[in-house]
């Protein structure tokens, strides 16, 4: 996708498997939103090929739109409609909608069905957003940063809702700024930076995390912190603890860590943006 001489998206290539939760990560200005809007059919690309559910979003008709659901980053709720009325309204837009009551239950709003949207908490409003996207019984659901602004408790409750959609066989295309969210929910992760894809994989193997050196930290008998980098943490731990036991010493604060998903993300995106800026 180009705007004049500026390439916002530089010939990226990705696939999303049916029934998976796919996380699409990237800093602001990386091309993430542009890519998602192309996939949703809201923005026409300037080059390349795109197929979503077997059709080109740029030319797909109402039948294709019947098969997708979209939850935007900011909601567009009518504050004076109740939960039930909001979902009934959206049900009318689809050819074969899911039961309104079933949809309300699916997003955990049974006790709020007759409450007006303006009376709901932020987390409950987000659940209503998802309910309105789900009532059409879509095959594919786009979730654009769905938990932005949530407190930690509300975010984790919302993750349960997303995971329940996996059990229904839905395909979910998730954009998020939260690495723990991608770690918890995603089957696969793709990172975009400076208009290019810089890494793809599972949350566990992204950036070859499973092969990265582990860091062992502890405080010795004098209270000084010891840090050891090793590719064989099991063998190194066995040596360290064995020697400590022979000396009758404790290893206070002993911990073993590998690079987190956030560490990998920051490294990949900063490197890509640095190269693009040269």
CA distances from 231 to 213, 215, 226, 258 (A): 5, 9, 17, 10
Alpha carbon of 98 to those of 94, 205, 266: distances in Å? 9, 37, 41
Residues constituting the chain: 278
Q: What is the pLDDT of residues 185-201, one digit of tens each?
A: 999 999 999 899 988 99
Report how far residue 173's alpha carbon sits from residue 69's, in angstroms, rounded to the nearest whole number. Answer: 10
The pLDDT, as a whole number, for residue 207 is 62
**Sign of the C-alpha dihedral computed for residues 233, 236, 240 and 242 taken in this order:** positive
Ranges of residues in the chain whose predicted pLDDT is under 70: 207-211, 272-278
Structure-block tokens of residue 252? 């206070």
**Residue that the structure tokens 């984790």 belong to:** 156
Nearest to 138 by CA among 186, 93, 205: 93
Expressed in percent and rounded to 5, the helix, strand and coil fractions of the chain are 40, 20, 40
**47: exposed, middle or buried (Cβ count in 10 Å: 0-12, 13-18, 19+):** exposed
Strand bridging mode 6-7 / 2-3: antiparallel
| pLDDT value of position 151 | 82
The dihedral sign for the CA sequence 254, 256, 262, 265: positive
Nearest residue to 123 (alpha-carbon basis) of 159, 78, 98: 159
- Helix, coil or strand: residue 191: strand
pLDDT of 88: 97
- Rounded Cα gap, residues 125 and 117, in angstroms: 7
The sheet with strand 214-219 has its strands ordered as 225-230, 214-219, 252-257
The alpha carbon of residue 95 and the mean position of all alpha carbons in its chain are separated, in whole angstroms, by 29
- What is the pTM (predicted TM-score) of this model? 0.80
- What tokens were used for 131? 């309910």
- Token pair for 235: 């063998």
How high does pLDDT run on average in the chain?
89
Strands, E, within the chain: which ranges?
2-3, 6-7, 21-25, 68-71, 140-144, 171-175, 188-193, 196-201, 214-219, 225-230, 252-257
């Amino acid at each position: 996708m180009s705007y004049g001489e500026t390439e916002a998206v530089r010939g990226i290539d990705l696939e999303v498997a049916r029934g998976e939760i796919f996380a699409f990560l990237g800093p602001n200005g990386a091309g993430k939103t542009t890519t998602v809007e192309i996939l949703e059919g809201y923005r026409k690309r300037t080059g390349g090929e795109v197929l979503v559910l077997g059709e080109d979003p740029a030319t797909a008709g109402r039948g294709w739109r019947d098969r997708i659901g979209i939850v935007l980053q900011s909601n567009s709720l009518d504050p004076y409609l109740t939960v039930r009325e909001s979902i009934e309204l959206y049900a009318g837009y689809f050819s074969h909608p899911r039961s309104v009551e079933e949809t309300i239950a699916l997003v955990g709003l049974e006790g709020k069905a007759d409450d007006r949207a303006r009376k709901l908490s932020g987390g409950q409003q987000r659940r209503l957003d998802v309910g309105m996207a789900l009532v059409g019984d879509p095959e594919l659901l786009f979730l654009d940063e769905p938990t932005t602004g949530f407190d930690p408790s509300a975010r984790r409750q919302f993750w349960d809702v997303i995971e329940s959609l996996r059990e229904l066989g839905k395909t979910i295309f998730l954009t998020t700024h939260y690495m723990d969210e991608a770690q918890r929910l995603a089957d696969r992760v793709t990172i975009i930076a400076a208009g290019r894809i810089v890494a793809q994989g599972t949350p566990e193997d992204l950036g070859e995390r499973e092969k990265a050196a582990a860091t062992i930290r502890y405080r010795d008998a004098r209270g000084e912190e010891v840090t050891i980098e090793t590719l064989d943490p099991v063998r190194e731990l066995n040596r360290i603890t064995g020697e400590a036991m022979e000396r009758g010493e404790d290893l206070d604060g002993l911990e073993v860590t590998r690079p987190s998903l956030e560490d990998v993300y920051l490294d990949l995106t900063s490197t890509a943006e640095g190269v693009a800026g040269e």
